[in-house]
Each structure stands twice: as C-alpha cells, then as structure tokens.
Amino acid sequence: MRYISTRGRAPALSFCDILLAGLAPDGGLYLPESYPKVSPEELARWRGLSYAELAFAILSKYIDDIPPADLKALADKTYTADVYRFARRSEQRKEITPLIWLVPEKLGLLELSNGPTLAFKDMAMQLLGNLFEYALEKRDDSLNILGATSGDTGSAAEYAMRGKQRITVFMLSPEGKMSGFQRAQMYSLQDANIFNIAINGMFDDAQDMVKAVSNDAAFKAKHKIGAVNSINWARVLAQIVYYFKGYFAATRHDGQKVSFSVPSGNFGNICAGHIARRMGLPISRLILATNENDVLDEFFKTGCYRPRSAAETFVTSSPSMDISKASNFERFIFDLTGRDAEAVRGLWKQIEAGEAFDLSDSPCFSGVSDFAFVSGKSLHSDRIAAIKMAHECYGIIIDPHTADGLKVALEVAGEGIDEPVIVLETAQAAKFSATLEEALGRAPSRPAELVGLEALPQKVTLMAADTEAIKAFIAAVDNQPAMTSIHMLPTDFA
Ligand SMILES: *Cc1c(COP(=O)(O)O)cnc(C)c1O
C-alpha cells in the first residue's frame, strides 16, 4: 500500500515513511492510493474478533512494511483492558469500546473514552506511541515531539509517549486556561521524557510557536522535530477500527445498517467513519455534529466552506470542538472531487489566502449525499438540555461533546432514520465538571484512581510566548539530556 498526497505533487510513500511525517512536502495530507475493500466473507469473519484482533485485521490492509507478527504484537500491546480501564460499569471492564443501548436496538452510545485521559483521542494516540517507538527502534533514530494543546490532545499524547525510549515530548499549553483537572493530568507526569511548558499567552500563541519552529527547516531537521497533530494518517487509520467494532456490537448480521453521530472539530474522527464506509462497512448515515463553531455544518448544508478568523471562533462549553478550520477536511474534499488533486490544490490556495470556497454549483457537491453525510449544530443550551435529558431518560451521565452528538442524532433521527443510530462518546463527563454542575446541579464522579489528582506534585516550566526561547529549551535538552533538570523549574499552579 502506497500513500499519496491530496495535492498530487509529492512522491508516493509507504506507511512507515509517512508515519513520522506530518504534511506531505507539497502541503497536502497523505491518504492511501485506494481504500481496501472488505468482502462480505471477511466482514462475517471479523464479527467475532476481539478489539486487538480486529485492529490487526484492519491495520494489515493499510500497512505492508511492518512484518505481520510485529504488527500483531503492537495491536495486542495497545488494545488491552488495562490500558482502557476506565469503563464505568463493572460488566464492561473487558470491552475496549463498550456499546450501551439507550433505546434498545435504536439509539446507542459507543464508549470511546475509557483510556488513560478519558477522551477518545487515547484510542489512536496509544497506538501511535507504540508505532513510533517501534519505527524509531528499527531505524535507530529518535524524535522530539513538539505540540500545542488546549487540553485533550496534549494529555493523550503525553500518556501515549511517556516513558518511551527515543521519544521526548515538548507540550506547550496556555498558562491558566485549562481546567484544574486537565492541568493536573498533564503536569503531574514525572517522566523524564515529558516536558510541560506553560506559555504566558493563549492557545493560539502556543500554536503559532509550534508553527514557527516547524517552519525553521534547519532547526527541524537538526533536532528531529515531529508532530502528533490530528492530520497524522496513523491516527485516522486507528480510528477506523471502532466504527467496525461499534457496527458489530449494534447488529446481529451483516445485512443491517447503522448510522453514527460524531461530535466533530478537526474532522479526524468522522473522516475515519467515511473511510470505514468506503471500505464497505454498511453505514447508513454519518451524522456530523458541531457546536457553535459550525464551519462544517455550514459546508454540508450549503456547499460553502468558510474557515473563521480567531475573532469569529467561539469559546464554548464543548471546547475540544472549538475550531475555526477543520484540518482533516482536505482529505474528504479530495474524495468528494473524485480525487482531483489539481482541484484540491486550487481550493486550498483560496483557503490559504484567507478566503472561502463554494462548491454549491459544482457537480461534486450534488454527490455529497452519496457520501451519506448529514449535519447539525448544537448550542450551549442544547448541550445542557441533552445532558439533563440523558440523565433523566436514560440514567446516564454524558460529557458536553457527546451531548452535542446526541442532540444532533435525535434531530436527524426525527427526520426518519430507521436503522440504529450510534452516538460516539468522545469524552467522560468527569473532565468537564463545571458544565455538568450547570446541567445536573452536581459535579460528576470520577474514576477512583484519579481522585486527588490535583493534589499531586506538578512538573511544568513557565515560558514567555517566544519562539527563540522554546528553540533554546529544545536544543538544550536535545544536546545534553542528562542536564535537563537544570532547566526544570517545578511550578505548582494549583
Ligand atoms: C478532539 C475531540 C473532538 C473532535 O474530534 P475531531 O476528530 O477533531 O473531529 C470531539 N470531542 C472531544 C472530547 C475531543 O477531544
């Protein structure tokens, strides 16, 4: 299997070659040159597989430069009941992604947030950590991961990379802008290869610093700077697995269809659903839910893709969906245009110039229904109402992002979907206690292992939003790993 760029001007590469790369050299995103199809016989055989076995079966279709025995060992090591141990009901502790029926055989919730950081990003990031470690070992190489986070991505990356040989993580976060729980989750890690850096600024400042460092090609090459952001193909690939697993859990035989409702931000999660459907999984609809930041809902309703400025981006109570442009969307547009790299290049030229593009008059947009997408939007009041309703009617406590997915699922199902709808649960409520208190009048409980998290000692370095300072920090660690403690000023933000 070879991987090509959505902009058509980069050489085709194998999986391990793009694993550690971010964007393709032509600025595009990597995709497999074709989507492998799953035959009805295969689908029937896969129904009985465990999560790790299913992951191996799907990964094998996309990865041909890791020996099968090694790939199997990586899947087995990643998808264990111990890693995904925060299932809330004791009878599900063995399932990696339990399905809960809210309305039997009609409305389900697929729990994807039972990993170490209580958000679905662990599903892919844990695999990425093991793949990176494996590939670096093979190449006798090392990697410095530089990232910026407003909460979920950074912690998922740190928990996936902690303690790994050959990998060092530098994670920038905006000082004082995350919840106490999110801060404690990251800053309490004491691993020698994890560096938390709190930036005196906003998330965008941190993000700009990462971009500035990545744009310095010489520095990037010298210090082997890598990224784990949501455009990484391996993350999308890993997410395909739970669409299959959720499908099998919700159906009795392979003639049935299901729909999935996906709380969306950067379009990574639902992009995996789109690819699962292209592979032949019987998905009826892919229901895309946005919050107030509705750039994607607007596209699916009108054909116009209009990324927002920072000033037009709302800070909401489902913060992991607060995006102004959706970084994985280019992958979908590539498919929508019939894989016309030239067209994609033209469209993203407009986007990069700060403009919008409008496909409403293009024949490809009229084909959007063949791709099974429908969309909807959920506001703060909808989120609060959905959390209340889920608690009162179904006896479950859901987080604000999942609430957006539930709200839009019910809205769309009301328009007559006969098959079961599965809402993807992207985080546990325990991460967002302020919003839960507003909805239910009390804070959600959290896993016993995480009680008292905020009281643990924290390891974080405070830094100005200054690109040269972060470069100097990385260079110092990189050149003299044993000396790093000198640069560490443990600071307690509690
Ligand atoms: C990242 C995230 C999302 C958005 O997922 P995308 O893949 O960016 O569309 C939704 N909910 C939660 C809790 C997240 O962490």
* Residues 234 and 210 sit within 8 Å (Cβ to Cβ): no
Answer whether residue 488 shows pLDDT above 50.
no
> Measured in angstroms, how far is the CA atom of residue 79 from the centroid of ligand 1?
20
Q: Tell me the two tokens of residue 324.
A: 């102004």
> Confidence class of residue 405 from pLDDT cuts 50, 70 and 90?
very high
> Measured in angstroms, how far is the CA atom of residue 236 from the centroid of ligand 1?
12
* Beta strands 99-103 and 107-111, pairing class: antiparallel
- Rounded Cα distance between 181 and 437, Å, is 15
pLDDT at residue number 114: 96
Contact partners, residue 71, CB within 8 Å, separation at least 6: 56, 59, 60, 63
Q: Tell me the two tokens of residue 139.
A: 């190449």
Question: Which ligand 1 atom sits closest to the C-alpha of 431?
Answer: 13
Answer whether residue 490 shows pLDDT above 80.
no
Tens digits of per-residue pLDDT, 241-293?
Answer: 999 999 999 999 988 999 999 999 999 999 999 999 999 999 999 999 999 99
Tens digits of per-residue pLDDT, 184-208?
Answer: 999 999 999 999 999 998 888 888 8
Contact partners, residue 479, CB within 8 Å, separation at least 6: none
The candidate with the shortest Cα–Cα distance to 240, out of 278, 196, 210, is 278
This prediction has a pTM of 0.94
Ligand 1: lining residues by beta carbon, under 6 Å? 119, 121, 152, 230, 263-269, 320-321, 401, 426-427
Pocket test for ligand 1, best of 120, 155, 373 (most atoms within 8 A of CB): 120
Count Cα atoms within 13 angstroms, Cβ side, for 201: 17
Tens digits of per-residue pLDDT, 378-395?
Answer: 999 999 999 999 999 999
pLDDT at residue number 487: 41
- Rounded Cα distance between 406 and 400, Å, is 10
